[in-house]
């Protein structure tokens, strides 16, 4: 861990309380995201991946451990971060433009200024001409891009993305992965990306943390040395396959049980 780290999680423990029940969720998670780095957290459903993001954003205070953003201790203090929860959470009463402008308005930009900035970015998000549409008028893929546009409007160097493509069909998903890489390359944000798809993690990331089933602890940290810019052809390379084998082993999934490129989304 060095001063070039955007985000550091140190020895995080977290427990979920529900009435009498105590459910340990995270067990000594330490991880870091360098400036401009794309880091993924890969794990099975219910491994507390979303909790990691909640804690990293300061929305949730861990039982134990520290969270540093730009070397500042922010444990349990909600930060200005590009947090994108699992559901797109576009507000149905706001048009695409109004939804995406929310972060700017929260920072006291004028409406005019905020809308202008959103409009400028619409083409690169493939949403040109849809600014006055309500969310229910958009397709699933468009909604995810709109939510990502909103996340991008949060003026923070850090993005926390919680399975942004989890609810999409495989084709849309692959398309959006390429598009996300392109956007990331252009805006140079540090990204902590949560997913349960092995291929997605390898394809997108500089580094991957594999976490175990609950209580989640880190089973493996792996740097992915595939050259950038990447395209879908890397999926067929032997290096990609060897990473995949390694990750499958660390997730304790027998290769034969692994049903293919994208095993089904979790509910």
Partner 1 sequence: MKKLASIKANLPAVVMLMSIVALWELVCLTAKIPEYVLPAPSLIFIALWENIFLLLDHTKITLIAVLGGLALAILVAFILAMAMDRWKPLKQALYPVLVISQAVPIIALAPLMLIWFGVGLLPKVLIVALVCFFPLAVNLVEGFSQVDPEAIDLMQTMHADRWMIMRSVQLPFAMPYFFSGLKIAATYSVLGAIIGEWLGARAGLGIYMLRTMHSYRLSHLLAAIIVVIILSLIMFKLAELAGWLAMPWKRESNNQMEG
Q: Which is nearer to partner 1, 95 or 212 (CB)?
A: 95
Distance CA 94, CA 183 (A): 24
CB of 111 to partner 1, least distance (A): 12
The binder of partner 1 chosen from 15, 35, 63, 94 (CB under 8 A) = 94
Phi, psi of 190 (to 5 degrees): -85, 135
Strands 207-211 and 38-42: what pairing?
Answer: parallel
Q: Which of 1, 22, 46, 89 binds partner 1 (CB under 8 A)?
A: 89
Distances from the Cα of 166 to the Cα of 148, 248, 264, 267, angstroms: 14, 19, 9, 9
Closer CB to partner 1, 85 or 224, in the complex: 85
182 vs 266, beta carbon nearer partner 1 = 266
Number of residues in contact with partner 1 under rule CB under 8 A = 25
Q: Is 93 in the site for partner 1 (CB under 8 A)?
A: yes
Q: Which listed residue (107, 110, 241, 264) binds partner 1 by CB under 8 A? A: 107
What gap in Å lies between CA 33 and CA 28, rounded to an integer?
17
Strands laid side by side in the 158-162 sheet: 82-84, 158-162, 190-195, 38-42, 207-211, 218-223
Q: How far apart are CA 115 and CA 102, in angstroms?
A: 10
Is residue 97 within 8 Å of 115, Cβ to Cβ? yes
Applying CB under 8 A, among 16, 59, 74, 109 the residue interacting with partner 1 is 59
Site stretch for partner 1 (CB under 8 A), options 4-12, 73-81, 175-183, 239-247? 73-81
- In the region spanning residues 147 to 206, those forming contacts with partner 1, defined by CB under 8 A, are 154
Give the residues lining the site for partner 1 (CB under 8 A): 54, 57, 59, 78-83, 85, 87, 89, 91-94, 102-103, 105-107, 134, 136-137, 154
């Amino acid at each position: 861990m060095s001063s070039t780290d955007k985000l550091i999680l140190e020895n995080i423990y977290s427990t979920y309380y529900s009435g009498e029940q105590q459910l340990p969720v995270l067990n000594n998670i330490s991880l870091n995201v360098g400036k401009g780095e794309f880091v993924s957290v890969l794990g099975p459903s219910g491994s507390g991946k979303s909790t990691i993001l909640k804690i990293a954003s300061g929305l949730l205070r861990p039982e134990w451990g520290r969270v540093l953003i730009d070397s500042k201790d922010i444990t349990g203090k909600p930060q200005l971060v590009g947090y994108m929860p699992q559901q797109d959470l576009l507000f149905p009463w706001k048009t695409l433009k109004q939804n995406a402008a929310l972060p700017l308005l929260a920072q006291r930009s004028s409406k005019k200024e905020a809308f202008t900035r959103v409009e400028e970015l619409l083409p690169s998000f493939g949403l040109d001409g849809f600014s006055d549409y309500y969310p229910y008028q958009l397709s699933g893929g468009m909604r995810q891009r709109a939510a990502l546009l909103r996340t991008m409007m949060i003026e923070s160097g850090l993005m926390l993305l919680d399975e942004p493509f989890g609810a999409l069909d495989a084709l849309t998903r692959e398309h959006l992965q390429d598009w996300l890489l392109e956007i990331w390359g252009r805006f140079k944000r540090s990204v902590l990306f949560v997913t349960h798809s092995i291929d997605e993690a390898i394809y997108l990331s500089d580094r991957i943390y594999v976490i175990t089933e609950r209580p989640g602890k880190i089973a493996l940290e792996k740097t992915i040395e595939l050259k950038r810019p990447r395209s879908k052809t890397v999926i067929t390379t032997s290096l990609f396959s060897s990473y995949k084998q390694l990750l499958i082993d660390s997730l304790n999934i027998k290769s034969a049980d692994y049903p293919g490129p994208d095993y089904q989304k979790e509910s």
